[in-house]
Amino acid sequence: AREPIAPGAVWLHGFALADAGALLADVQLALQQAPLRHLVTPGGYRMSVAMSNCGPLGWCSDERGYRYAAQDPQSGRPWPSMPHSFMSLASRAAAAAGYADFTPDACLINRYEPGARLTLHQDRDERDHRQPIVSVSLGLPAVFLFGGPRRSDRAHRLPLQHGDVVVWGGPSRLAYHGIQALAHGTHTLTGPCRYNLTFRCAG
């Protein structure tokens, strides 16, 4: 089912279910080349979510700030290429949400273990905010917090499940959002964790 949640934001329930096995196999291949790591924020905090990237650009954070880079700072090598399964799913989901010709150049891979969370933030490091972000949830469920254009705006809670895809564009592109601390559990395909893929036009 296709559920509009706010202007420009569309929740595609189960859209990635048929592709989940192939996506997760390609996640593991990418992580062999660019292992997950806990980034440090510019404020000096270690993130509870473990991250990596694939595609031409990857999102990085360290004491110097947030940025997109073509090389993995941990290895000095380019990020793994974007798997065809990722590109195909992202482009079909964007089209289903009304965004034709979505060609992301970055995929951030987030892994949540129980207790991991993402506090309310905006995604502003990408160059063209007219392009949407496509997010794919795999494994354990999570409570997504969706606020407004100001941090103080009241946040809605959306229960994101394995296989759900949400497309964030238009006025929702710069909304504050986050993920509540992941509850304990075990998923058949991922074990005790949740993966989230976010596709971005960064450069």
- Residue 194, C-beta contacts closer than 8 angstroms, at least 6 positions apart: 111, 112, 137, 138, 139, 140, 141, 142, 182, 187
> How far is Cα 61 from Cα 3, in angstroms, rounded to an integer?
33
Contact with ligand MD3 (CB under 6 A) among 57, 133, 140, 201: 133
CB 5 → Fe ion: shortest distance, Å?
A: 15
Nearer to ligand MD3, 9 or 76 (CB): 9
Tell whether residue 50 is a contact of ligand MD3 (CB under 6 A): no
CB 192 within 8 A of CB 184: yes
Contact with ligand MD3 (CB under 6 A) among 104, 173, 182, 193: 173
Nearer to Fe ion, 47 or 69 (CB): 47
Tell whether residue 57 is a contact of ligand MD3 (CB under 6 A): no
Contact with ligand MD3 (CB under 6 A) among 163, 198, 199, 201: 198
Nearer to ligand MD3, 162 or 177 (CB): 177
CB 146 → ligand MD3: shortest distance, Å?
A: 7
Q: Nearest CA to 177 among 197, 157, 199, 202?
A: 157
CB 89 within 8 A of CB 164: no
Site string for Fe ion, 107-136 (x = CB under 5 A): ----------------x-------------
CB 184 within 8 A of CB 194: no
Distances (CA, A) of 135 to 24, 49, 77, 200: 14, 16, 25, 9
> How far is Cα 52 from Cα 110, in angstroms, rounded to an integer?
7
Phi-psi map region of 167: left, alpha, beta (phi>0 left; psi -120 to 50 alpha): beta
Residue 133 interacting entry, from Fe ion, ligand MD3, none, C-beta within 5 to 8 Å by type = ligand MD3
Q: In the window 152-171, what residues touch ligand MD3 (CB under 6 A)?
A: 166, 168
CB 123 → Fe ion: shortest distance, Å?
A: 4
Chain residues that interact with ligand MD3, rule: CB under 6 A: 108, 110, 118, 123, 133, 135, 166, 168, 172-173, 175, 177, 179, 196, 198
